[in-house]
Structure 1
Amino acid sequence: MSVSEEHLAGHRVRQAVLAGGPAPATAESPRPVIEASWTRLLRRGLDPGSDPVVPPLAASELERRRAESRLGPLVAHLRDALRPAVESTGQLMVVTDPEGRVLWRDGQAGVRRLADRLGFVGGSAWTEGNVGTNAIGTCLVLGEPVQIHGAEHYVESHTRWGCAAAPVHDPWTGRVLGVVDVSGPTRGMHPTALTMVQLAARVAELEVRQEHRAELDLLRAHAAPLVARLGGRALVVDRHGHLAAATGMSAPERVTLPDGLGVGKVWLPTLGAATAEALPGGWLLRLEQEDASVVGAALLTVDLSRPAAQVTVQGVSGGWHHTLTPRHTEILVALATHPAGRSAAELAADLFADPTRVVTVRAEMSRLRRTLGPLLRRQPYRIDEAVRVELVLPPDRSALLAGSSAPVVTALRAATPAPLDR
């Protein structure tokens, strides 16, 4: 099949499937990752024939985000790593923040002008919910590298464009720092573009990991003599909760710290009551009781009314709150709205419209259990029956988790307003 024939066949598939029918008998069905993305967007109500316009950030806000981005110091390295996939093929290198906002673009004038016509400019939000299926937005949904070819785009005006993107994770915290992307006219896409963005993202993650290790080593050297003089149970953690030193106990490798941790009394879901003392680059936590259990906690609240969702645990010994990642927010929404529990396949359908993505679900549940510990149960995945659960929703349901295209969130946006607690 020639390139032009393949292009036409892709468009026929796209038109048929997005109109609600099967793929033509003479053509292959969409790849599962594409079909799942289209399903999410059809449920969300995005018009594939629309010409999405997403106002970019103001120049001052764009500069602020660039200055705060952990990827800023790495942009030059990313540019060097991706130069073969950009310069020789007339493509564009893009680096975004965790919200899919374009922070940096690099490429020849011609491809920049083409990107401008699509609204693919500095400060624009290139998420699935805003512009449909695309490598940046879809890889943010899935948390893994994605390549999108021509007619695999959901929005008609993007179907002559190709893109390959990979998320950059902070290996220390698990949070997404941003996305590295190569985009441009489909005819010019480098055959190894996806591999190259994966390697570039991996190099960036290794740089971040090395930076964290150096910080932890400094904290460990500072804390060692202090811990040696302590009695009782205590541990020293960095600002992300990673263990630097401990005495009198078998300590976890990482403790999830509450938001706004300050000097004084603190309660931790997996450790119990403690006293926090500030150290350069971290915290000394002196544990005050043996019973670290949170079973019997009275209330777990997921506050969805704020831009970054927050979970609060109010237990018999104290309270604790922590800002959630977007993925963990979606999982807790699914578990809160299905109190009997969800299998890994059901959660995959809730999050991705794809019940086969059980490996991703299990990895995310493992990370979430490190935060909430015994509050979460398995087989099926659920919130402990002894815990009362409350979702705090924004007054305007349509504003609920604006960056999410998860089916469970789409359903909650459309649900009849009512208190959601048990």
Structure 2
Amino acid sequence: MEAPVTTSVHTLRTAHEQFVTTPGASPQVRDLVADSWRRCAVRGAHPDGSHLPPLRATAAELTAYRRAHPLAGALPLFRELLGDGAADDGHIFAVADTDGTLLWVEGDTATIERGERMHFAEGAVWSEARAGTNAPGTALELGRPVQIVTGEHYSSAAHAWSCAAAPVRDLSTGRVLGVIDLSGGSTIATPPALAAVRGAALAAEAHLARTTAMPTTTPAPDQNGARLNVLGRDSALLEHGGRVLRLSPRHSEIVLALALAGHGVMGDRLAVELSDREVPPSTVRAEMTRLRAVLGPALLGSRPYALLCPVRTDLGEVSALLAEGRVAQALGRYPGPPLPRSDAPVVVEQRRCLEQQLRGAVLGSGDPALLRRWVDADWGADDTAAWSALARTLPNGSPQRAAAAARARGLDLAEALPLQVVGHAAVLQRARS
């Protein structure tokens, strides 16, 4: 995750003015924001604040929609984690759906009224395409937590605001359900604010997984659904309609990105998720044409690109088991990281998040059997902390304890040696000069 900006308000607004008034100017801001500004410019977003985000629904329509939305079940948790103290800090929190429509906006009354003047209100659409660079919209665009401060907003109407937002996913499928956002003044332009929304999103994911994990009746299999297996393999397996398709590595990345999005994805966003380098739209279209020939038009839609049926992933199932505290079962269902050779940003991020969740759960379990399984696997063989934790859980005097402790010490020395070599080289260089 990119670190929050520390640039001054004046510098940011100068950079914004230069970008929007000078054709071809390179944005003098951090990469995440520069990429977003470029997307906004291509999509025709208005940087001068003259076009406020549209209000999508009437009050009655919004009430009915919110009642049925899956994030309604997490609203009490958001109020507890983010709403307390809002009046003292002068901030508000908002919950939006996958299109960026604000479903709930709560918190400090005066800040709510300020937000309403620029249409940051329930029923307004704060997607990046409609509102320009902003935390909830850009978090949905990238599928990861984002912090946007003052002049980093593309629309000057929001330059007095700072915000931090994180997507909330369905852990059983990996699909994005919506986004949780904190907005306000200087207190939101801080690392704790970003940590708060990320923590609230993780807590909501775990809460929703628990409340849906034990249905009262066993549902019939969804004959129209699909299952995607990506763990421990470079070529994903897609099961659908009685067929099992082995996808190419590139098609594996695309289908995983679409499954994680849970809604339509435009070609320019898909290109960003698949590569750090600029990918021409024609290349994306050609790849999607080839993928449609493999999957068929009944499964892959276009404009925007989307999978046309529910898709469960083995990645999501492992995350759901971890959210339920079933660490042994999660580790047993983990044959390795998703698409291990892929360097697509969306895959790298999912790989990192799942490994962090699984590793943290194993280390925190204090279970020697789980720790042994972790260090015996390729991905845990050089995990110094895991070897140390294993040594601590084994009986004093045990040969296995001594072996685990020796392995941890050996890894520590191996990690320290390159630093020592660099240090000695620096000393010699100074002596020669």
Partner of 1:270: 239
Query: Which residue of 263, 283, 298 maps to 1:326?
Result: 263
Partner of 2:290: 383
Shift of residue 55, structure 1, vs aligned partner: 2.4
Letter in 1 for 2:46: D
Residues 157 and 172 (structure 1 numbering): CA distance in 2 closer, same or farther, change over 3 Å? same
Letter in 1 for 2:239: T
TM-score with structure 1 length normalisation? 0.55
- Summarize the alignment of residues 67-216 of structure 1 with structure 2, pairs less than 5 Å apart: 67-83=67-83, 86-186=86-186, 189=189, 191-215=191-215
Residues 351 and 57 (structure 1 numbering): CA distance in 2 closer, same or farther, change over 3 Å? farther
Rounded to whole Å, the distance in 1 between the matches of 2:161 and 2:35 is: 20
Cα deviations by residue, 1:298-320 (Å, 9 ceiling, x for unpaired): xxxxxxxxxxxxx9xxxxxxxxx
Residues 174 and 271 (structure 1 numbering): CA distance in 2 closer, same or farther, change over 3 Å? closer
Query: Which residue of 7, 11, 14 maps to 1:12?
Result: 14
Shift of residue 90, structure 1, vs aligned partner: 0.2
Shift of residue 383, structure 1, vs aligned partner: 2.8
Shift of residue 149, structure 1, vs aligned partner: 0.4
Partner of 2:32: 33
Shift of residue 170, structure 1, vs aligned partner: 0.6
Rounded to whole Å, the distance in 1 between the matches of 2:78 and 2:129 is: 27
Alignment RMSD (CA, Å): 4.5
Contact 1:136/1:166, CA 8 A, preserved across alignment: yes
Contact 2:141/2:269, CA 8 A, preserved across alignment: no
Percent of pairs identical after alignment? 29
Contact 1:102/1:121, CA 8 A, preserved across alignment: yes
Partner of 2:275: 345
Farther off after superposition, 14-23 or 151-160: 14-23
Letter in 2 for 1:326: H
- Summarize the alignment of residues 268-417 of structure 1 with structure 2, pairs less than 5 Å apart: 270=239, 273=242, 292=243, 325-326=262-263, 330=267, 344-345=274-275, 349-350=278-279, 383=290, 387=294, 401=304
Cα deviations by residue, 1:17-66 (Å, 9 ceiling, x for unpaired): 23335569xxxx31111000001011112221142231241111101111
Rounded to whole Å, the distance in 1 between the matches of 2:105 and 2:79 is: 10
Contact 1:89/1:188, CA 8 A, preserved across alignment: no
Residues 95 and 157 (structure 1 numbering): CA distance in 2 closer, same or farther, change over 3 Å? same
Partner of 1:51: 50
Letter in 2 for 1:8: H
Residues 349 and 88 (structure 1 numbering): CA distance in 2 closer, same or farther, change over 3 Å? farther
* Structure (1 or 2) with the greater helix fraction: 2
Contact 2:98/2:263, CA 8 A, preserved across alignment: no
Unaligned residue ranges in structure 1 (runs of 5+): 223-235, 244-250, 255-267, 274-291, 296-310, 312-321, 335-341, 353-360, 362-376, 394-399, 403-422
Shift of residue 174, structure 1, vs aligned partner: 1.8
SS at match of 1:326: coil
Contact 2:176/2:261, CA 8 A, preserved across alignment: no
Contact 1:48/1:156, CA 8 A, preserved across alignment: yes
Rounded to whole Å, the distance in 2 between the matches of 1:197 and 1:83 is: 11
SS at match of 1:105: strand
Cα deviations by residue, 1:146-177 (Å, 9 ceiling, x for unpaired): 00000000011111111000110111122211
Contact 1:86/1:107, CA 8 A, preserved across alignment: yes
Contact 1:85/1:196, CA 8 A, preserved across alignment: no
* Structure (1 or 2) with the greater strand fraction: 1
Letter in 1 for 2:275: A
Residues 159 and 169 (structure 1 numbering): CA distance in 2 closer, same or farther, change over 3 Å? same
SS at match of 2:275: helix
Unaligned residue ranges in structure 2 (runs of 5+): 232-236, 247-257, 306-433
Contact 2:127/2:137, CA 8 A, preserved across alignment: yes
Shift of residue 293, structure 1, vs aligned partner: 5.2
Rounded to whole Å, the distance in 2 between the matches of 1:386 and 1:23 is: 39
SS at match of 1:383: helix
Residues 193 and 130 (structure 1 numbering): CA distance in 2 closer, same or farther, change over 3 Å? same
Contact 2:226/2:241, CA 8 A, preserved across alignment: no
Residues 113 and 45 (structure 1 numbering): CA distance in 2 closer, same or farther, change over 3 Å? same
Rounded to whole Å, the distance in 2 between the matches of 1:34 and 1:14 is: 10
Shift of residue 85, structure 1, vs aligned partner: 6.5
Contact 1:160/1:186, CA 8 A, preserved across alignment: no
Letter in 1 for 2:115: A
Rounded to whole Å, the distance in 2 between the matches of 1:200 and 1:343 is: 24
